[in-house]
């Protein structure tokens, strides 16, 4: 058994562009804002591209999904939709199966007619059988449901070229050993295997010894020590309400310097602009901004010229600014090590610090992974109440009045106000209130309640347009061979909208209707309008026509179910002949 030594956790000398990934897969990685691989990715991807069987020993939350997904997709990119799957990924739970399928779908955005199908228990067999009949490049499933389909004759594994076991130790703990061995026995004996596990019990040793071919072993001990000086809190919030939640927290709680982390370069500038529009002094740094400008921006934070820095992980590497008292994970990181590095920007040299993590309802699993890896509970953040916000806003406005009274010469303006009061016979308080309204410029001192995180409605409730939702029209329809999964995947991936926030879908002959939250930012709609489904821009806009009978979104339509269809690609007949995940080499 080969052995791979752990590399430095920062991987400062390795980029995803160093791997010989398929160009379309690499483009999707860049679109998602990922630049540097995590340790498990840095070591595993070149091995899988080189055709090796791999055992990856790493905790949940270290970036394992991309470690096997990117080389797998690079191998089968461009292949025609097969009658039987080319790759099978086994996961212990339906939640993990869905999560993995969604990740693969996002990495396969530019692969054309590429299908990822999740199959798991607790869901009707009908849509799964339909998906298998249509053909799927990759099947992601739980062992029990995979075995059920094998026995029904609806799943043929004889042409599987790549088999992945994710969280193998968990599957064995749940009693799936016989199922796993039966699945191995039914797959192509020349298939490549990637097995990931947090531990290496004897049962895993038996499986690897019997079914893997001279595997390379990669062991990752994630650095998960967080400072005891950092108070860590999380807030469960819908994606569309993150900005409102953030500004309310900043209104009530006092901080010095703040650094906020988002996933992509574009989002750094978008969030910084939105914060500035709300009166905060903020600036962005990312890899596209010239180094001299980045240094100037960091110095502005250090000197107090700005208070908020919005950054990507790569741009903030090595950043040490003493006045940073708060780290905000506006977007939750996909690996625990990034979380530890992020919050380590505060609480240094004996100082205390705060860290706030925003978690959408669908990201709760990532939060649990962070807590397990760091062996620390992240306490829930209690949002400021409407009353607290109103009192704070009123007090701050009164402080502005006091400051102006004490620092400005108002002698020239008093006669103007006195004349207005006498001429128009109105109380001075009304005049002052009118002037206050001008100063507030549309803002209000009275806060409104922030909507609660969306809870998935019952099927009957989803059959009609829900309160707080708006119906939008998309310029793609049945003639474009669009399916609900493609629409959900496009909106979720490109718009940053949780699939749980996507309501009824109705596919017509030349257009489609979809219910989305009515408070979507204009920037989200603009980004979605440029998104393509079936090779066409969806040109999303509010629907002005009469809503029709909705399509009831099935529970597996979460951006992955039937795959996203962006047009056809050429058929590549190069069946794997010992070349592994594409037979591609790692660039030295």
Q: Could you state, in order of their start, the residue ranges of all structural domains in the chain? A: 2-219, 230-374, 387-440, 464-542
Joined tokens for residue 413: 């303006």
Task: Compute the half-sphere exposure of residue 565: CA atoms within 13 Å on the CB side of its CA.
Answer: 20
pLDDT at 401: 86
d(CA 562, CA 118): 8
> Cβ distance 234 to 369 under 8 Å?
no
pLDDT at 322: 82
Report phi then psi at 509, rounded to 5: -65, -45
pLDDT at 270: 92
Domain covering 464-542: architecture: 2-Layer Sandwich (3.30)
Instruction: Report in angstroms the alpha-carbon separations of 145 from 154, 235, 333, 404.
Output: 11, 34, 30, 70
Same-fold call for 230-374 versus 464-542: no
Intervals of the chain under pLDDT 70: 1-12, 60-61, 222-227, 317-318, 348-350, 447, 449-467, 498-500, 545-588
pLDDT at 318: 64
pLDDT at 349: 59
Could you tell me the CATH superfamily of domain 2-219? P-loop containing nucleotide triphosphate hydrolases (3.40.50.300)
CA 90 to centroid of chain Cα atoms: 22
Tokens 């596990």 appear where? 197
How many residues in total does the chain contain? 588
d(CA 150, CA 172): 20
d(CA 78, CA 114): 8
pLDDT at 553: 42
Joined tokens for residue 351: 């100082």
> Cβ distance 362 to 346 under 8 Å?
no
Which one, of 372, 333, 375, lies nearest residue 60 by Cα?
372
**3 state SS of 43:** helix
pLDDT at 210: 92
d(CA 37, CA 44): 10
DSSP character string of 402-414 = HHHHHHS--TTTH
Helix (H) or strand (E) holding 232: strand 230-236
pLDDT at 224: 58
d(CA 264, CA 262): 6
Region 230-374: CATH code: 3.40.50.300
């Amino acid at each position: 058994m080969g052995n791979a030594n752990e590399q430095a956790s920062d991987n400062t000398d390795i980029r995803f562009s160093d791997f010989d990934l398929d160009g379309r897969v690499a483009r999707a990685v860049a679109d998602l804002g990922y630049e540097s691989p995590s340790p498990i990715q840095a070591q595993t991807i070149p091995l899988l591209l080189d055709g090796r069987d791999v055992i990856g020993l790493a905790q949940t939350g270290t970036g394992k999904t991309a470690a096997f997904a990117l080389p797998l997709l690079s191998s089968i990119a461009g292949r025609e939709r097969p009658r039987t799957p080319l790759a099978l990924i086994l996961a212990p739970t339906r939640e993990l199966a869905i999560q993995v399928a969604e990740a693969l779908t996002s990495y396969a955005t530019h692969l054309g007619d590429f299908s990822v199908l999740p199959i798991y228990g607790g869901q009707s067999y009908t849509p799964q059988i339909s998906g298998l009949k249509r053909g799927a490049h990759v099947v992601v499933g739980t062992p029990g449901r995979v075995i059920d389909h094998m026995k029904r004759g609806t799943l043929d594994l004889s042409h599987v070229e790549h088999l992945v076991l994710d969280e193998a130790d968990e599957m064995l703990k749940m009693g799936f050993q016989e199922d796993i061995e039966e699945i191995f026995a039914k797959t192509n004996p020349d298939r490549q295997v990637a097995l990931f596990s947090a531990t290496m019990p004897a049962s895993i040793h038996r499986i690897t010894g019997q079914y893997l071919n001279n595997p390379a072993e990669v062991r990752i001990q994630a650095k998960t020590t967080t400072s005891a000086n950092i108070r860590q809190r999380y807030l469960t919030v819908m994606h569309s309400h993150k900005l409102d939640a953030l500004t309310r927290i900043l209104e009530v709680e006092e901080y010095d310097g703040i650094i906020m982390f988002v996933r992509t370069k574009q989002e750094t500038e978008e969030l910084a602009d939105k914060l500035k529009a709300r009166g905060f002094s903020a600036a962005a740094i990312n890899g596209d901004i010239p180094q001299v400008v980045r240094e100037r921006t960091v110095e502005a934070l250090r000197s107090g010229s700005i208070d908020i820095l919005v950054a990507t992980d790569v741009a903030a590497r090595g950043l040490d600014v003493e006045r940073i008292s708060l780290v905000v994970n506006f977007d939750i990181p996909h690996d625990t090590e990034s979380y530890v590095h992020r919050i380590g920007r505060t609480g240094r040299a004996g100082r205390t610090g705060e860290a706030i993590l925003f978690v959408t309802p669908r990201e709760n699993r990532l939060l649990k992974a962070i807590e397990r890896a760091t062996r620390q509970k992240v306490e829930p953040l209690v949002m400021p109440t409407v009353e607290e916000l109103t009192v704070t806003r009123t007090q701050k406005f009164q402080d502005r009045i006091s400051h102006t009274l004490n620092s400005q010469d108002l002698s020239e303006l008093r006669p103007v106000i006195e004349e207005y009061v006498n001429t128009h016979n109105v109380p001075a308080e009304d005049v002052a209130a009118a002037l206050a309204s001008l100063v507030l410029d549309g803002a209000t001192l009275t806060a409104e309640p922030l909507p609660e995180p969306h809870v998935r409605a019952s099927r009957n409730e989803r059959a009609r347009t829900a309160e707080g939702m708006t119906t939008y029209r998309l310029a793609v329809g049945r003639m474009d061979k669009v399916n609900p999964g493609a629409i959900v995947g496009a909106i979720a991936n490109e718009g940053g909208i949780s699939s749980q926030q996507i309501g009824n879908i109705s596919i017509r002959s030349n257009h489609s209707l979809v219910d989305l939250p009515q408070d979507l930012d204009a920037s989200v709609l603009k980004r979605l309008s440029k998104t393509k489904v079936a090779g066409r821009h969806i040109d999303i806009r509010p629907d002005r026509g009469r809503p029709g009978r909705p399509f009831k979104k099935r529970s597996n339509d979460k951006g992955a179910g039937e795959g996203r269809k962006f047009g056809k690609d050429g058929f590549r007949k190069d069946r794997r002949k010992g070349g592994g995940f594409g037979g591609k080499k790692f660039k030295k």
